[in-house]
Structure 1
């Protein structure tokens, strides 16, 4: 889930940068790779007596459990998982700035979030590691800042798309042939659900706020690479009419047209899943964490019977991918060469001999085309795997700063901001953080 707080994280990152400048380990240890002398990694070499620490978010502390136990058994090393209190993206930079640092850590491998932990000063570069060339094209594009790799990609990025209730669609007379190939067609589908059933077209979670960003995000998929490149150089702005119009269309054509459930201002993420399952709404636009909610409560067979998924963009039937903190694992420069090499070995083990066992245990798609995705995943998951290769990134994967669009959209639905004011607030925050990061052009 993309709930990064850039301004707060920036403050922490600034403190971290100052710490890194005075830290004798920040720019020395782990830089053997600059001279081309990086040692080759044996994933199962003995590491008796070596202890590594790995930071995770509170809700993902068990995500690496299988690989940690397998690695410890294979090598004799110890890997201690430590949960950092929420908000993870805010508290990690603060903790690092205090001088504490782990050997390994989950971190979102996007250009908007990876910079918060000052990768050039603090992380081992992972270019040329044995697993890098095995990644799928989309996964391989993540974890890179200024041409250098700082994150191993261990899980596929979340997919953004439409989850739908099959019974509601059947009542509305909607078949796969009716699946939309544009955002306008998606809205028309929502209207059909409202007209022909007693369900709402969409469920919007104004109470939790963060899911509000997705309806706007889908409408920005026609913006090309140059637009995003210019945005990142302060040559384009979030106040561009295409952004304002996307916010306006969401306000008028979806919310204002009555296509959302009545309590959309107070709706929640968990309520979203319950409402879709019960058939109280026809569709939910959200990322893979929404699916994880359902998988935690229902069997694959139950899900396949009731819930479907399809991709959609502004003018095509393609999906969007959204990096999150469980996708990437980074390794820190600690000044202890033995632990640094052990951290690299852990990543080589994770994405090497253990990877098939890991994804089977986690029941998740594979990031390596040569390693098949496990059997038994819901049809929704299979559809997302199929859509990933042609998917485009959400703005967190394209913009150098990820503004809190959801907060400004929440202001709009409560009548505190107009669409133009939403776009201006996004731009103001984006420029403020980019300038503080010394981004060129700001």
Structure 2
């Protein structure tokens, strides 16, 4: 999630993928749905069949338990290949030249599935045998483009929300969690008056978390069709809704509600700051919790760290699946390998899933499989918020402009809030036009 494709690189890759999609002789027809008989039994013999999974540096160990179990069960050989960062850009470039794996980790959002030219390059996963095993709230939350399922979740999507230090809250008399944005800010101001830093964010390095501050403010509007209107060029980043959220972020910075070293702080600084109580709250996503887990065990995290979603009018979370949450299966032109790839997915979300959940110490996607006992309560609360959450810009917009970079410039004082919105809208329009979105 940290690595976002810069606009120029994304345009190049999208253009190349479009050309490749027109000329790839092994692509097959788009949007085909695998019939039930096309989903091999999980234990079908695959002796002599070799499969390749592409993974990022932060997801290349995720398949280990599944690969070991699948190879033993079927006789297949599965190789996990690490693709260097920037992961998404590297994969798009490879696929544009005809280089495809059998499976790959991929962000299951409309914009990222479009970037892969899904109807041409990816197998349809409609009718997959594991779909009914998903918890109802998660079954159709993402992975679908133009009515066809191209990606399947293997872990719960990330949620943008507030991680807080329980002890700091208790020491300052905050006994109830904020119920909406106004209460959230009221608590922050009380903390500031008490000499506590309310919020910790970072503007140094690659300030990818800055965008969460804008996006959680857009949750209500997203529920009301904001991103549909942006996708249709009926509303823009410079119109009052999104511009207002950017303005609010700048106003909170000007009010002194953030850490003094906001301009130079990094992601790595954000974990100790919250864990040690140097700041009371952080707006972040699930990957941030991985940083906390590297600093403390589950017992300490349960004691110190809590989570709640936030939105203008309530506690609506904003979900943002990343590449480590989902897999896609490619059309390679080799029918045996394509079927084997579907079989591996069936095993991953089938007989291999309980071991996978335990090996990853993760929250289960399936009601019939318990979450790992090693999952901290905060992550269980994140997962519980998904049912009432709404999609982020990345999940619902047709393109993913570099909002976070522009907000980073705002923190450094090189862009005004108005210039942030203008630059982001210009990038969005260019990307939307490049993929043929009507209205651009």
TM-score for both structures, normalised by structure 1? 0.95
Partner of 1:155: 155
Deviation sequence 1:388-431 (CA, Å, 0-9, x none): 11111211111111111111111111222221221111111111
- Which residue, out of 195, 202, 206, partners 2:203? 206
| Aligned-residue offset at 1:296 | 2.5
TM-score for both structures, normalised by structure 2? 0.95
Contact 2:31 2:119 in 1 (8 A): no
Partner of 2:185: 187
Q: Secondary structure at the match of 2:328?
A: strand
| Aligned-residue offset at 1:2 | 5.1
Partner of 2:52: 53
| Aligned-residue offset at 1:371 | 2.1
Residue pairs, 1:201-350, within 5 angstroms:
201-207=198-204, 208-223=206-221, 224-252=223-251, 254-350=252-348
Q: For the residues of structure 1 that align with 2:194 and 2:31, how far apart are their CA atoms?
A: 64
Partner of 1:84: 83
Q: CA RMSD in A?
A: 1.7
Q: For the residues of structure 2 that align with 1:21 and 1:318, how far apart are their CA atoms?
A: 41
Contact 1:334 1:340 in 2 (8 A): yes
Deviation sequence 1:124-160 (CA, Å, 0-9, x none): 1110010122223334231111100111111110122
Gaps of 5+ in 1: none
| Aligned-residue offset at 1:306 | 1.5
Count residues in correspondence: 436
Q: Does 1:420 align with 2:418?
A: yes
| Aligned-residue offset at 1:32 | 6.7
| Aligned-residue offset at 1:37 | 7.6
| Aligned-residue offset at 1:96 | 1.3
| Aligned-residue offset at 1:246 | 0.9
Deviation sequence 1:313-346 (CA, Å, 0-9, x none): 1210222211100111011111111100000000
Q: For the residues of structure 1 that align with 2:245 and 2:228, how far apart are their CA atoms?
A: 20
Q: For the residues of structure 1 that align with 2:32 and 2:422, how far apart are their CA atoms?
A: 45
| Aligned-residue offset at 1:227 | 2.8
Partner of 1:10: 11
After the TM superposition, which segments of 4 or more aligned residues of structure 1 sit over 6 Å from their partners?
none
Contact 1:159 1:322 in 2 (8 A): yes
Partner of 2:26: 25
